Structure 1
Amino acid sequence: MKIEEIIQTEKTSQELKDWARRVKKGDMNWQYDRFAEYLRLGTIMELNNEV
Protein backbone atom coordinates (compact mmCIF):
# COMPACT_ATOMS: atom_id res chain seq x y z
CA MET A 1 0.00 0.00 0.00
CA LYS A 2 1.41 3.37 -1.01
CA ILE A 3 1.39 6.49 1.16
CA GLU A 4 -1.36 8.06 -0.96
CA GLU A 5 -3.53 4.98 -0.48
CA ILE A 6 -3.07 5.15 3.28
CA ILE A 7 -4.15 8.79 3.29
CA GLN A 8 -7.16 8.22 1.03
CA THR A 9 -8.53 4.98 2.51
CA GLU A 10 -11.64 5.59 4.62
CA LYS A 11 -10.93 2.74 7.02
CA THR A 12 -7.47 4.07 7.88
CA SER A 13 -7.26 5.51 11.41
CA GLN A 14 -6.75 9.23 11.78
CA GLU A 15 -3.43 8.59 13.53
CA LEU A 16 -2.12 6.55 10.61
CA LYS A 17 -3.34 9.15 8.12
CA ASP A 18 -1.55 11.87 10.09
CA TRP A 19 1.65 9.81 10.08
CA ALA A 20 1.37 9.21 6.32
CA ARG A 21 0.88 12.93 5.72
CA ARG A 22 4.05 13.67 7.71
CA VAL A 23 5.96 11.11 5.65
CA LYS A 24 4.65 12.65 2.45
CA LYS A 25 5.28 16.23 3.60
CA GLY A 26 8.85 15.36 4.55
CA ASP A 27 9.39 13.85 1.09
CA MET A 28 10.14 10.48 2.66
CA ASN A 29 7.97 8.39 0.31
CA TRP A 30 11.06 6.70 -1.09
CA GLN A 31 12.07 5.49 2.37
CA TYR A 32 8.58 4.20 3.15
CA ASP A 33 8.38 2.42 -0.23
CA ARG A 34 11.78 0.85 0.34
CA PHE A 35 10.88 -0.38 3.83
CA ALA A 36 7.49 -1.67 2.69
CA GLU A 37 9.15 -3.69 -0.07
CA TYR A 38 11.68 -5.19 2.37
CA LEU A 39 8.84 -6.04 4.74
CA ARG A 40 6.78 -7.64 1.98
CA LEU A 41 9.64 -9.68 0.55
CA GLY A 42 11.26 -10.61 3.85
CA THR A 43 8.20 -11.55 5.85
CA ILE A 44 4.92 -11.71 4.02
CA MET A 45 6.26 -13.48 0.93
CA GLU A 46 8.33 -15.81 3.12
CA LEU A 47 5.23 -16.81 5.08
CA ASN A 48 3.32 -17.46 1.86
CA ASN A 49 6.13 -19.68 0.59
CA GLU A 50 6.00 -21.82 3.75
CA VAL A 51 2.42 -22.86 3.10
Structure 2
Amino acid sequence: MNFHALRHTHVTLLLQAGINTMKAVSRRLGHSTVNMTLDTYSHVTPQMEE
Protein backbone atom coordinates (compact mmCIF):
# COMPACT_ATOMS: atom_id res chain seq x y z
CA MET A 1 0.00 0.00 0.00
CA ASN A 2 1.39 3.39 -0.92
CA PHE A 3 1.20 6.63 1.07
CA HIS A 4 -1.66 8.02 -1.03
CA ALA A 5 -3.77 4.93 -0.33
CA LEU A 6 -3.04 5.23 3.38
CA ARG A 7 -4.30 8.83 3.38
CA HIS A 8 -7.52 7.77 1.67
CA THR A 9 -7.96 4.96 4.18
CA HIS A 10 -7.30 7.36 7.06
CA VAL A 11 -9.97 9.79 5.82
CA THR A 12 -12.48 6.98 5.27
CA LEU A 13 -11.91 5.64 8.79
CA LEU A 14 -12.30 9.13 10.28
CA LEU A 15 -15.62 9.62 8.51
CA GLN A 16 -16.85 6.15 9.48
CA ALA A 17 -15.90 6.88 13.09
CA GLY A 18 -18.22 9.86 13.10
CA ILE A 19 -15.80 12.70 12.45
CA ASN A 20 -18.43 14.52 10.45
CA THR A 21 -16.76 17.86 10.01
CA MET A 22 -14.56 18.14 6.97
CA LYS A 23 -12.78 21.07 8.61
CA ALA A 24 -11.39 18.71 11.27
CA VAL A 25 -10.37 16.19 8.61
CA SER A 26 -8.81 18.93 6.49
CA ARG A 27 -6.82 20.23 9.45
CA ARG A 28 -5.57 16.74 10.30
CA LEU A 29 -4.37 16.23 6.71
CA GLY A 30 -2.64 19.60 6.65
CA HIS A 31 -4.66 20.97 3.73
CA SER A 32 -4.82 24.72 3.31
CA THR A 33 -8.55 24.70 2.53
CA VAL A 34 -11.56 22.47 3.16
CA ASN A 35 -12.30 22.62 -0.57
CA MET A 36 -9.01 20.88 -1.28
CA THR A 37 -10.02 18.07 1.07
CA LEU A 38 -13.50 17.79 -0.41
CA ASP A 39 -12.18 17.71 -3.97
CA THR A 40 -9.74 14.93 -3.13
CA TYR A 41 -11.59 12.83 -0.57
CA SER A 42 -15.28 13.25 -1.33
CA HIS A 43 -15.86 9.51 -1.80
CA VAL A 44 -18.55 7.71 0.17
CA THR A 45 -18.45 4.15 1.42
CA PRO A 46 -21.50 1.89 0.95
CA GLN A 47 -22.02 1.79 4.73
CA MET A 48 -22.18 5.59 4.85
CA GLU A 49 -24.84 5.70 2.13
CA GLU A 50 -27.25 3.61 4.21
Taking structure 2 as the reference length, the TM-score comes to: 0.35
Which of structures 1 and 2 has the bigger CA Rg? 1
